[in-house]
Structure 1
Amino acid sequence: MFDWKQEKFGDIFQKNNDKNNKLEFGENLTISIAQMKYNPQGNGASTNSLKNYKVLRIGDVAFEGHTNKEFQFGRFVVNDLGNGIMSPRFAALRPIDEIAIYFWKYYLHNERSMNNILVRSTKAGTMMNELVYSDLFKEKLAVPEKSEQVKIGNLFSKLDSTITLHEEKLAKLKQLKQGFLQKMFADESGKPVIRFKGFNDDWEQRKLGEIMNVGSVKRIHQSDWKNEGVRFLRARDIVALSKNEEPADLLYIDDSKYYEYSKVSGKVQKGDLLVTGVGSIGVPMLIESNEPIYFKDGNIIWFKNNNSLDGDFFYYSFTSSNIQNFIRKSSGTGTVGTYTIDNGKKTPILIPREKDEQQKIGLFFQQFDSLITLYKC
């Protein structure tokens, strides 16, 4: 394997001045640089304006000067889509000789590789950074032999294809789960559309306040927050955990404070449900162990299950449309909706008469979520 050689940008690429003056390409072949996709409706440009659009052929490189956290000075986007046109406000390069497109697609789009080069070869424009061709073409970058370029490019292209395939499967799994949530929980008819074999009885409709205590805990003040001890949850923490995200600022309270206040409020137990009452309301969190935990009163509603319902069934019931629709309707029409303890008590739930059916449904969705998590990894 040969060492990578330092080569000037100007020895590999040249300025692309190719314009669509003969209307070789219509508006249906307008390329969105941000997404590298065709925009069949175009950008609303007149036929006359399309003559000023730049032609971007396969292998050409567009410079997208908008900045963000990922790309501090803009980014290069290699056209691996096909021939088309783009807005004249974007700078464009054309390879002097045939290039290994996939290698350059990933190399030029790598902020770590291009950051210092773009620092020295861009300037601030009215709405976005502008590329200074004369400065860019003096810049050098390390380049491997053509055969190695091809192998590297193919590797990353195959990885992208695999990722896309997994993302498509993940999207289908999530869609399938939503379908099961609709059909495996009873509706107003009293029976679900899909059931496990051996269960035929109508489900019973109850209000949660009739079958369990619904409430909160004694207030913890901000001055009592600590960096270690018993985990202290806010509504935002539950929302983050529902997205498989870990909150950046974990909060705790002293063990002594937890035991003192738990004598008044009680302890959160395995199988209980904590549900957000402010912000993103109605997001449930199933307590899966008896490990000490405390939460912010007023922000979170505590459903003290006490084994009245199978925990997993209870959790997934809360994510189904029946309960979520009730929460939306009862949370108020103001700018900031709230899900209160009183509404928690009034929340309707349809329950199988046999606990065994609850357990089968809960386990089914738990396994479904495990499969979704597997595809996320």
Structure 2
Amino acid sequence: MDKKPEKLVPEVRFKGFTDDWEQHKLGGVAKIIGGGTPNTKIPAYWNGTINWYTPVEIGKKIYINESQRKITLDGLKHSSAKLLPKNSVLFTSRAGIGKMAILGEEATTNQGFQSIIPIAKELDSYFLFSLSNQLKYYGETHGAGSTFTEISGKELAKFKLILPKLNEQKIISKLIMMMDKLISLQQRKLEFLKEIKKGLLQKMFADKSKFPILRFEGFHNEWEQRKLKNVYQKIGNAFVGTASPYYVDAGHFYLESNNIKNGQINRNHEVFINNSFYQKQSNKLLHTGDLVMVQSGHVGDTAVITQEYNNSAAHALIMFRNPKDKFLSDYLNFYFQNTSAKNKINVLAIGNTIRHVLASDMSRFSVYFPNKDERKYISNLLLKLQYTITLQQSKISQLTILKKYLLQKLFI
């Protein structure tokens, strides 16, 4: 008995849709057109009104409306560039294959594209754009060329995609578009928060004038310049040397420079050490409230040791231990994120191949300090702002995961 062919349906569907999806080749549901460049030595071909895109302009926005350079009608007529209608999907075909964007206005491109013009009754532009990861992978694995990989329009036309009827495509596209808009909105909020933080970091710390530009009400005294060795009881290096023989799959978390970024400790990269090696570093363990600084590579990045990392061992970091009062480390952690402080550390850094800074130099490093109460106000404000930024980053991550889940369930 012949086995019935497997039905082509997604795992999750909108109510009212029951038809099987059908497999198509991209060339059967869309036209694929290459681009071209008018002669750059003929001024009459340039600075016109027709949008003309290059691959470097693609990848940051879904819909694009205005190119960096424009060509004239004569430039269009005397080149292999083709005028593409609104809602065409641009696809970079070389040197970074697979970046995509949808045209918000008619345009042309250079030869670094294979642009896709969906057949109106067969394929929705946003539905196709939602398959960008699949198209990118196909382009990278089916491209050819000895100097650089490039996929031809003929080869891209062979890409197989499984499609529902157009009305179901449009409903799916509407949902994915809503997700993309929501993620984009949250990303703009995140960038706005980061800009606020950047501005505050430049204005809330005093320089040689001994007064900051921006200040809390009620504080008027000039700030005092102090060396870091006078505000921490111990400043020195964590273990420096080869630690890899002591690495284990599970053991004591080993804090390294890869874990220090943007003023925080992350676990994106984890290394663990065995107990005997950990015990040998008992006199160099970090405690809650200490500050650590990256010593080589991305020199000067800092983070405060939170309760989670109390009694941690560290590798190739400068350790500022036992601060003489609360909020010192939080205050300094934010101070080291401002441009002025970064520049001062870069001046101290030595080495041609890999730049590094010495613990002894950081002991003598001078910083302007307000009194304890003002430090507390500054630190609390910036801690709350950093917490809001972290929450915003988490929200974007969750939305991105949700979108990925929907793409897996709504598409075949």
TM-score, normalised via structure 2 length: 0.75
| Cross-structure match for 2:163 | 143
Which position in structure 1 is the counterpart of 2:130? Answer: 106
C-alpha separation in 2, matches of 1:328 and 1:138: 53
The reply to whether residue 167 of structure 1 matches residue 187 of structure 2 is yes
| Counterpart mapping for 1:268-283 below 5 A | 268-283=286-301
Q: In the alignment, which of 6, 11, 18 is matched to residue 2 of structure 1?
A: 18
Q: Which residue, out of 214, 218, 232, partners 2:235? A: 214
Which of 220, 240, 246 aligns to 2:267? It is: 246
Q: Which whole-Å CA distance do the structure 2 matches of 1:247 and 1:152 have between them? A: 34
Aligned mates of 1:17, 1:208 — CA distance in 2: 61
Letter in 1 for 2:108: I
Mapping for residues 27-38 of structure 1, pairs under 5 Å:
28-33=50-55, 34-35=58-59, 37=64, 38=66
Matches within 5 A, 1:57-76: 57-66=85-94, 74-75=97-98
- For 1:303 and 1:145, the matched residues in 2 are separated by 64
Tell me the amino acid that sits aligned with residue 231 of structure 2: I
Q: CA RMSD in A?
A: 3.4
For residues 22 and 227 of structure 2, the distance between their equivalents in structure 1, rounded to whole angstroms, comes to 72
Q: Distance in 1 between matches of 2:276 and 2:344?
A: 38
Aligned to 1:97: 120
8 Å CA contact retained: 1:27, 1:50: no
The answer to whether structure 1 residue 157 and structure 2 residue 177 are counterparts is yes
Paired position in structure 2 for 1:71:
none
Three-state SS of the structure 1 residue aligned to 2:313 is strand
1:348 corresponds to which residue?
A: 366
CA distance in 1, matches of 2:156, 2:334: 56
Give the counterpart of 1:229 among 229, 241, 251. Answer: 251
Say if 2:394 is the partner of 1:371: no
SS in 2 for 1:147: helix
Q: Please, which moves more after superposition, 226-235 or 23-32?
A: 23-32
Per-residue deviation, 1:92: 3.8
Secondary structure of 2:188's aligned partner: helix
Residues 185 and 114 from structure 1, CA distance in 2 versus in 1: closer, same or farther, beyond 3 angstroms?
closer
SS of the residue 1:274 aligns to: strand
Instruction: Give the Cα–Cα distance (whole angstroms) in 2 for the partners of residues 89 and 208 of structure 1.
Output: 54
Are residue 56 (structure 1) and residue 46 (structure 2) matched? Answer: no
Change in CA separation of 1:284 and 1:75 when aligned onto 2, cut-off 3 Å: closer
Show CA shifts across 1:52-91 (max 9, x none): 21222123344433376xxxxx448463322111124533
> How big is each residue's C-alpha offset from its partner over 1:184-238, in whole Å with a ceiling of 9 and x where there is no partner?
1122221222222332222111011223221124556422333332222222232
SS in 1 for 2:182: helix
> How many residue pairs align between the two structures?
358
Do the aligned residues in 2 keep the contact of 1:309 with 1:358 (CA within 8 Å)?
no
Q: Deviations over 1:290-337 (max 9, x none)?
A: 6221112xx311111334351322321222334322211111373432
1:277–1:101: structure 2 CA closer, same or farther, 3 Å change rule? same
Q: Does 1:331 align with 2:349?
A: yes
Is 1:85 aligned to 2:85, yes or no? no
- Classify the secondary structure of the residue corresponding to 2:281: helix
Q: CA deviation at 1:49?
A: 8.0
Structure 1 regions of 5+ residues with no counterpart?
69-73
Partner of 1:195: 215
- Change in CA separation of 1:30 and 1:233 when aligned onto 2, cut-off 3 Å: same
Aligned-partner SS, 1:339: coil
Is contact 2:33–2:153 with CA below 8 Å preserved after alignment? no
| Contact 1:19–1:54 under 8 Å retained in 2 | yes
Whether contact under 8 Å (1:231, 1:252) holds in the other structure is yes
Distance 1:261 1:88, change over 3 A: closer
CA contact (8 A) 1:7 1:140 kept: yes
Q: Secondary structure at the match of 1:185?
A: coil
Matches within 5 A, 1:281-296: 281-289=299-307, 291-296=310-315
Letter in 2 for 1:100: D
Task: Report the residue type matching 1:370 in the other structure.
Answer: Y
One-letter amino acid matched to 2:19: D
